[in-house]
Amino acid sequence: MLATSRSGERSRRWLQERLWGSRERTNSQASLRRELSNLRPLVNIGDPPLLIVNHEAVALDLKQVVVDIRDPDQVVQLRGEFLEGIDIAWEESFEDWLREERQAIAAAREAAETGALPVGPRDDQTSSSGRPTIGIVVHQQELPAQQMERIDDIAGKLAERITRLRWLPLIGASAGPVQIQAGDTLVRAGRRLGVEYLLHCRSSFGRSIVIALSEARSGRMLWSNREELGDAVSPVEIDRILTDVVAAVSMQVATDQEERVRDRSIHDLNADELLWRARWHMRRLTVADLQIADNLLDMAAQARPGSAEILIEKAYAEAWKLWADGEPLTSIETLRSQVMLARDTDPYDARAWLLLGILDTWLGRHDSAAALMQEAITLNPSLSSAYAHLGSCYSLSGCPEDGLAMVRTALRLNPLDAQNFHQFGELALATLMLGHHDRSVIEADNALARRPGYVYGHVFKISALWMMGEHARAREASAALLQVRPNFDPATLEWLPFKDRSWNRRLRDTLTDALQFQRA
C-alpha cells in the first residue's frame, strides 16, 4: 500500500480507514501501531531505514526499492492480478482501493503495450504546460436509475465547485461529466479529454459513493474517499461532501505539481512551473527558501506580466515577510494596495479576498477582515486557509468560541497542510482566551510538534501554564523558547492585533514573569 503511493507515503488515518475501517477509531489506531511495531524490525535492517514512521504518516523510502508496477518495461510483462488472493473481510474501503489499483495497473499496461502514452514514475516530470487540467468522469454501472442519477448529480455539483479553483481549469464538464462504460479505462477517458487529472465517481455496494483522483496518463490513483449516502442525504451533507472533496483534490494536485518541478532546472520552467517551484519553497518557511521564492516569482512576473495568479503569489510572499519581521502598519497598507490590484484583476479568485482579510486583521480592522474572508469562503468553500484565518480574526476580535469552530473546519479540510502548526497555534490561543488552560497547552504542543521554532506556539504554552499556576513547567517552556529565539522580547507581543488590548498586556506580563527566571 505504501509502494503504490506516488511519494511512498500514506497518512496513518488513510491506512486505518482502508485496513480497519469497520472498527472503532481507537481500535484501528492500536492495530496500526501493532503492525508497524511488527514490521519495522523486519525491514529496517540497514541505514537509512526503509520504513519511516512518524505520528502522522508512514512512508517507504522508494530510493531503496524497485517497484515493478512503476516500471513501463516490467509492467508489460506482469501477468496475474495485483495482490491476487488478498481479501480483508468487511473492509469495503480496502476493496475499493484494491479495485482502483488493479484498474490503474491494467491501464498502465495497456498504455505501455500500445506505446500511445509514455508511462512510468518520472513521465510527468517532463510536462511542459505547467498549468494542470482536470476532468470529471462517472463509471456507468448496473444500478437503479435513482442511484445513478444521484451519482451524476454529485458529479455535476463537483464540476461547479472545481471551477471555483481559478488555477485548475476544468475540461469537458459543461454538458455533464463524461461517462465511462464497462471495459473502458481511465487512460482512454483522460486521452479523450486531454487532461492531466481525472476525478472519477462510482457507486460502491449501492449505498455509498467512491470519489477518486487519478493521474490521467498513467491511471495511477492519488487519492480516494468513500462516502455513505443511505436512502436520503440532506443538502447539508451533500454540501459537506463537495467541500471536503474539492479541498482534498486541490491539496493533492498542488502537491503533485510542486513535486513535478522540484528537481528540474529553473531555466527549463515556464511561468506556471516557476509558480509551483516558488510555492514549494514558500512552504518550507525558511529565510533562504523565501528568498529563492522571491527570485522565482520575479522570473514568472517577467515571463507573464499582469498575471493575477502571479500578483497574488508575490503578495502572499511579501505578506509573510512583513509578519515575520513585524513591519510597521504603513508597509501593510502599501501591500494592501497591491493586493487590491490583484483582486480587481480576477475578482473571482478567493485567495485575493483572503489576503485582503489577513492584512485587515493585522491592521486591527476586524469587522472588515471578517467580511473579506467570508467572501473568500463564499467564492471557494473548500479554501481551508480562509477558515483558519477567519478563526484567528474571530479570536483576536474577542470571539474565541467562534474562532475554534472555524479553525477546526480548516483542519478537517486539510489535515496534512504544512501550515497546520499555525492552525494548532490558533486553537491554543482560542482555548487560552476561554480559560481552558490545560487544553491550550495540548494545542500548543501540537503546534510545536509540527514546527518547533514556532514562537507563538511557545508563547501560548508558557502563558497557559503560568495562568494555571504551573510555574515550574512554564519556566521549562520558557527555556525552550529561548533555545529557538534567544533574544525574544515580550514587548513584541504588542504587535498582535487584539481588539481588546488588555490581552497584549496579559501575554506580555506573563512572558516577562516566566522569562525572568531564565535570564536571572
| CATH code for position 257 | 3.40.50.10070
Q: Which of 236, 261, 286 is the last residue of a domain?
A: 261
Q: Is the dihedral of CA 361, 366, 372, 374 positive or negative?
A: positive
pLDDT of the residue at 123: 38
Burial letters for 56-89: b for 16+ Cβ neighbours within 10 Å, e otherwise? ebbbbbbeeeeeebbbbeebeebeeebeeeeeee
- Whether residue 113 is contained in a domain is answered as yes
Stronger pLDDT, 73 or 375, i.e. the higher one: 375
pLDDT (tens digit, 9 = 90+) per residue, 51-103?
999 888 899 998 899 888 877 777 777 777 889 888 888 888 888 888 878 87
Are 20 and 57 in the same domain?
A: yes
- Whether residue 450 is contained in a domain is answered as no
CA–CA distance from 404 to each of 385, 387, 388, 394 (Å)?
Answer: 14, 10, 9, 9
**Residue labelled with grid coordinates 488588555:** 502
- pLDDT of 500 above 80: yes
Stronger pLDDT, 384 or 309, i.e. the higher one: 384
Are 102 and 208 in the same domain?
A: yes
pLDDT (tens digit, 9 = 90+) per residue, 2-11?
998 877 888 8
**Which residues form the domain of 276?**
266-443
Are 277 and 234 in the same domain?
A: no
Are 148 and 251 in the same domain?
A: yes
pLDDT of the residue at 113: 65
- Whether residue 512 is contained in a domain is answered as no
Burial of 345 (0-12, 13-18, 19+ CB in 10 A): middle
Q: Give the chain's domain count.
A: 3
Stronger pLDDT, 441 or 231, i.e. the higher one: 441
Q: Specify the CATH number for the domain of residue 420.
A: 1.25.40.10
Strands (E), 268-360: none
Mean pLDDT value across residues 23-44:
92
Are 176 and 239 in the same domain?
A: yes
Are 365 and 387 in the same domain?
A: yes
Mean pLDDT value across residues 224-229:
88
Are 337 and 234 in the same domain?
A: no
Are 275 and 190 in the same domain?
A: no
**Residue labelled with grid coordinates 499556576:** 469
Tell me the average pLDDT of the chain: 88
**pLDDT range class, residue 119, cuts 50, 70, 90:** very low
CA angle (219 as vertex; 227, 68 as ends), nearest 5: 115
- pLDDT of 125 above 50: no
- The closest of 445, 461, 435, 373 to 409, measured between CA atoms, is 373
**pLDDT range class, residue 130, cuts 50, 70, 90:** low
- pLDDT of 166 above 60: yes
The DSSP secondary-structure symbol of 181 reads P
Are 145 and 100 in the same domain?
A: yes
pLDDT of the residue at 324: 74
Stronger pLDDT, 226 or 80, i.e. the higher one: 226
- Whether residue 513 is contained in a domain is answered as no
Are 57 and 96 in the same domain?
A: no
Q: What percent of the chain has pLDDT over 90?
A: 56
- The rounded Cα 373 to chain-centroid distance in angstroms is 19
Are 256 and 222 in the same domain?
A: yes
Task: Locate all alpha helices (DSSP H) within 350-417, ordered by sequence.
Answer: 350-362, 366-379, 384-396, 400-413
